[in-house]
Amino acid sequence: MEPRMDQRLAHGRVGTQDIDVGLRSHMLSVYNYMGLALALTGLTAFVTANTPAMVQLIFGTPLQWVVMLAPLGFVFFLAAKVRNMSLSATQVTFWAFAVAMGLSLSSIFLVFTGASIARVFFITAGTFGAMSLYGYTTNRDLSKFGSFLFMGLIGVILAMIVNIFLASTALQFAISVIGVLVFTGLTAYDSQRIKEEYNELADHESMGKLAVMGALSLYLNFINLFVMLMHLFGNRE
């Protein structure tokens, strides 16, 4: 009986170690996708903002509305089609989305100073890193905050749409403050959710696509947190 018990215990330890190693590998893949997407977005935004012909083409014509709405279209497309897409198609769509977001965010380099952009980026990175680490390591169940954060997200989006027409600085300030709170909370929530979803992976293909979609969630949280903080702390040209 003792040898069998020892074997079962040993098997349990090995299984747990395998899961831990696999989870770390999965989370590393998520953060790698996210980091590369942020780099691609930043490079696209910087190059676009420093190319007068591109600036005139995008912001001097109705094309600016296409550029502004394109990232949202990519998000809806991935959410609706990812189950039927191959891993390679999901990856290509994700990189295309990062480029589209870069085109959309290029206006930041035209409006704010480079020093304030760099400062706010590091503030965003520190805040994001701390909250993502909290979401990954905490034993507290954050799922109960999901519906509240989602409602906050919808409220922020609607307020941003309204403010396109009102152009109210007071409303923009309120949106930015609430947006920082919402996307900070979503960072912790999504980090925990991605960790828990790992246990539901069926095969390599689904694991790869889940990593991309997890990266998309965290990427959106980072970008939106950065934009909200820019409106609060960025110095205009």
Per-residue pLDDT at 151 exceeds 80: yes
Per-residue pLDDT at 16 exceeds 80: no
Which of 57-66, 91-100, 203-212 has the highest mean predicted lDDT (pLDDT)? 91-100
Residue 184: C-alpha distances to residues 31, 64, 229 (Å): 17, 29, 11
To the nearest whole percent, how much of the chain has pLDDT over 70? 90
Residue 83: how many other CB atoms lie within 10 Å:
9
To the nearest whole percent, how much of the chain has pLDDT over 90? 68
Instruction: Please give the structure tokens belonging to residue 35.
Output: 């980091």
How confident is residue 19, by pLDDT bands cut at 50, 70 and 90? low
Which neighbouring-strand residues pair with 112?
A: 236
Residue with tokens 């990175």: 125
Q: What is the mean pLDDT of residues 136-144?
A: 91
CA distance 152 to 181: 9
- Who contacts 236 (Cβ-Cβ below 8 Å, separation ≥6)? 111, 112, 113
Structural domain boundaries enclosing 140: 2-233
How confident is residue 21, by pLDDT bands cut at 50, 70 and 90? confident
Q: What is the pLDDT of residue 93?
A: 96
Per-residue pLDDT at 36 exceeds 50: yes
- Asked if residue 172 lies in contact with residue 163, where contact means CB atoms within 8 angstroms, the answer is yes
Per-residue pLDDT at 53 exceeds 70: yes
**φ, ψ of residue 150 in degrees (nearest 5):** -65, -40
* pLDDT, tens digit (0-9, with 9 covering 90-100), for 173-218: 999 999 999 999 999 999 999 988 887 765 566 788 999 999 999 9
Q: What is the pLDDT of residue 142?
A: 93
- Asked if residue 82 lies in contact with residue 140, where contact means CB atoms within 8 angstroms, the answer is no
How confident is residue 101, by pLDDT bands cut at 50, 70 and 90? very high
Per-residue pLDDT at 105 exceeds 70: yes
pTM: 0.88
| Of 22 and 231, the one with more pLDDT | 231
Q: What is the pLDDT of residue 237?
A: 75
Q: What is the tally of structural domains in the chain? A: 1
